[in-house]
Structure 1
Amino acid sequence: MSSYVVALDVGGTSMKGGLVDSAGTVLLTERRPTPRSEGPGAVVATIRDFITHLASLGGGTPDGVGLAVPGLVSPSTAVYSANIGWRDVPASEFTTLDVPVMLGHDVQTGGLAESVLGAGRGVSDFLFLPIGTGIAGAMVLNGAPYGGASGWGGEIGHIPVFPDGEECACGQFGCLETYASAASVGRRYSLRAGLEGVRAEQVVSSDDPIAVEVWDEAVEALSLALATYTLLLDPSVIVLGGGLAEAGPALFDPVRTRLVKRLAFRDAPPLVPAALGVDAGMLGASLLGWRAAGRPELGPGWDLDVRSAPAVS
């Protein structure tokens, strides 16, 4: 088998791993649950075992390992994750293999993949905003994800769009995530309608007055945040991803209309859907793996279609 890297996207509920060779071919993919309830040590041990397993399927020793993980991250350390509970875990703890390892923030790594392989390909400055259970952004500036001075750059979900609004889990009030994340849209509708367990996609597809109101507030919050981002950083394009972006025109059309109105004296950047979907984190991790292996030039020339990769159950 040709040279390859192990790529792993670690989420709060599941992990997606794969092997990607130097030509950009996804050799295989596989999923495993994240044992978050068992504690951070169990998650680290599971990652270590998963990497060993994936590497063995490649029939040799990988050139490197790339990991997309949540929380505050440096290339060499998983500094902190509230969801998983780890602190200051060095990259070397995630594998027993004697190969170089590079870590990346999960959303920023997805942004890297969209920049090199997806909807941001050929664009040097754009925002990648996945809207899922929560909201976090990857600011791609001059062709590279930008994390700011301490790695917290891109926490767009906690922009206070309605300063006198609802309290957010982060302790602030009126955060974008409190109004426009998939979890919040479902929660806010359920609370007002006196129901339980309503999902965001049910709210989007419903035409009852409560659903319309909740969705309108989500769209308003998102357009405010995107207008602020546009005025500060002037992106060439805004890439919306995550589960809520699958609402399609129900999301893109009203957000685009309101963004245009809010930017009265300048053109609004195009809003486009993410191209890589749930595979963005794993594909971004493969780029990190090749960078760890000393091959940062790999990626831009790849003609990659992850959907053609064989999955291992």
Structure 2
Amino acid sequence: MRAALTGTRGVGLDIGGTKTHGVVLGEDGAILAQVRESTRPGADGVVATAERVFEALARESGGSLGCRVGVGVPGLVDSERGMLRHAVNLGVNGDDLPLRDLLAERLGVPVVVENDVNAAALAACALVEADDVVYLSVGTGLAAGLVVDGRLRRGEHGAAGEIGHLPVDPAGDPCGCGQVGCLETIASGRALARAWPTPDGPPAAALFAAAAAGDPAAIAVRDRFCWGVASAVRALGLTIDPERIVLGGGVAEVGEPLREQVVRQLRTLGEGSPFLASLGLADRLSMVPLHYPVAAVGAALVAAR
């Protein structure tokens, strides 16, 4: 059965290190209400922020929200127990945090907790109407959500899809994971900001604009960045062989120019390998629509499932 937004109704919260984005989905999958609030760090701050967004969604929807709430968060998530750990960007470190139970008590409704990239992968499935999908999030870091035969693949330790920590350059930069030369040190928002610092506005937008204007330094930085994204796509294609690969995340707000350059890099990678070229990875690649809250919508789908 192919995934679809039609016929679902739910509430989803995407809790990130800087903002929390909440949505209410209608029966046809349309977004009926959405709210953004700054996220307060720490366990207490995360719970309080979620409550604030939930109450604002209820006001925007014109009534109480009694349905189950799906919550997407960064870090290692045990969805069965509703536990969160190592969510450094949220100020949650160390021991398991019983986030599901804390939120359920505060919101007064059942709650389901999922890794944010995994949640976004479910929404990506619905967008492209396929059941074998890799969602590649190019944000502050680099990670993938995997859906195989319509089911999330989380892995034994919740680490499936951590493609950003695949080493590709032994002489590269140290990675926050403790390894050297990981893809995340090349193809992530953090890496891009280091390579192309800008005083105002998103570095990715500034880089792609400068490259489009013919700046040789910008072109070099852009090409290396897009090579890194293409390398992640190649690795995922060779290991998962999904029907579709969907790009999302904060850097993907650059839009079509990002997809075009990643496609160009994929085709270049395939020039010396008839085998790789035969896989047609470039033809499987698409992007989340601009400004679409894919992680929040995915969290609502988590609740609906």
Question: Normalising TM by the smaller chain, what interval?
Answer: 0.7 to 0.9
- Relative to structure 1, the CA distance from residue 277 to residue 109 in structure 2 (aligned partners, 3 Å threshold; closer, same or farther) is farther
One-letter amino acid of the structure 1 residue matched with residue 66 of structure 2:
P
Q: State whether structure 2 residue 97 is matched by structure 1 residue 88.
A: yes
Aligned residue number for residue 201 of structure 1: 205
Aligned residue number for residue 288 of structure 2: 274
Q: Say which of 253, 262, 267 aligns to 1:257.
A: 267
What is the CA–CA distance in structure 2 between the aligned matches of 1:99 and 1:11, rounded to whole Å?
21
Structure 1 residue 64, shift from structure 2 partner:
0.9
Q: Say which of 107, 110, 124 aligns to 2:120.
A: 110
TM-score, with structure 1 as normaliser: 0.80
Structure 1 residue 276, shift from structure 2 partner:
6.9
One-letter amino acid of the structure 2 residue matched with residue 40 of structure 1:
A
Q: Say which of 71, 83, 87 aligns to 1:77.
A: 83
Aligned residue number for residue 305 of structure 1: none
- Relative to structure 1, the CA distance from residue 97 to residue 262 in structure 2 (aligned partners, 3 Å threshold; closer, same or farther) is farther
Task: Summarize deviations over 1:112-158 as a string: whole Å, max 9, x none.
Answer: 11112x13x1x222211121222111111111221111111111111
Does structure 1 retain, via aligned residues, the 8 Å contact 2:16–2:90? no
- Relative to structure 1, the CA distance from residue 61 to residue 182 in structure 2 (aligned partners, 3 Å threshold; closer, same or farther) is closer
Structure 1 residue 178, shift from structure 2 partner:
0.9
TM-score, with structure 2 as normaliser: 0.82
Structure 1: unaligned runs, 5 residues or longer: 292-313
What is the CA–CA distance in structure 2 between the aligned matches of 1:21 and 1:212, rounded to whole Å?
43
- Relative to structure 1, the CA distance from residue 240 to residue 23 in structure 2 (aligned partners, 3 Å threshold; closer, same or farther) is closer
- Relative to structure 1, the CA distance from residue 97 to residue 252 in structure 2 (aligned partners, 3 Å threshold; closer, same or farther) is same
Does structure 2 retain, via aligned residues, the 8 Å contact 1:9–1:282? yes
Secondary structure of the structure 2 residue equivalent to 1:30? strand
- Relative to structure 1, the CA distance from residue 106 to residue 263 in structure 2 (aligned partners, 3 Å threshold; closer, same or farther) is farther
One-letter amino acid of the structure 1 residue matched with residue 75 of structure 2:
G
Aligned residue number for residue 248 of structure 1: 256
| Aligned pairs (5 A) from 1:215-234 | 215-234=222-241
What is the CA–CA distance in structure 2 between the aligned matches of 1:143 and 1:263, rounded to whole Å?
31
- Relative to structure 1, the CA distance from residue 136 to residue 99 in structure 2 (aligned partners, 3 Å threshold; closer, same or farther) is same
Task: Please say which of residues 223-232 and 253-262 is displaced more in the overlay.
Answer: 253-262
Secondary structure of the structure 1 residue equivalent to 2:88? coil
Does structure 2 retain, via aligned residues, the 8 Å contact 1:128–1:137? yes
Does structure 1 retain, via aligned residues, the 8 Å contact 2:72–2:295? yes
Structure 1 residue 61, shift from structure 2 partner:
4.5
One-letter amino acid of the structure 2 residue matched with residue 71 of structure 1:
G
How many aligned positions are there? 280
Structure 1 residue 277, shift from structure 2 partner:
4.5
| Aligned pairs (5 A) from 1:1-313 | 5-36=10-41, 39-55=42-58, 57-75=61-79, 76-86=82-92, 87-95=96-104, 96-116=106-126, 118-119=127-128, 121=129, 123-190=130-197, 199-206=203-210, 207-245=214-252, 246-249=254-257, 250-261=260-271, 263-265=273-275, 266-269=278-281, 270-275=284-289, 277-291=291-305
Structure 2: unaligned runs, 5 residues or longer: 1-7
One-letter amino acid of the structure 2 residue matched with residue 5 of structure 1:
G
Task: Summarize deviations over 1:20-43 as a string: whole Å, max 9, x none.
Answer: 24443432111111112xx33222
Secondary structure of the structure 1 residue equivalent to 2:266? helix
Secondary structure of the structure 1 residue equivalent to 2:72? strand
Does structure 2 retain, via aligned residues, the 8 Å contact 1:4–1:62? no
Task: Please say which of residues 261-270 and 172-181 is displaced more in the overlay.
Answer: 261-270
Secondary structure of the structure 2 residue equivalent to 1:129? strand
What is the CA–CA distance in structure 2 between the aligned matches of 1:113 and 1:170, rounded to whole Å?
28
What is the CA–CA distance in structure 1 between the aligned matches of 2:89 and 2:149, rounded to whole Å?
30
The percent identity for this pair of structures is 34
- Relative to structure 1, the CA distance from residue 216 to residue 289 in structure 2 (aligned partners, 3 Å threshold; closer, same or farther) is same
Structure 1 residue 111, shift from structure 2 partner:
0.6
RMSD: 2.4
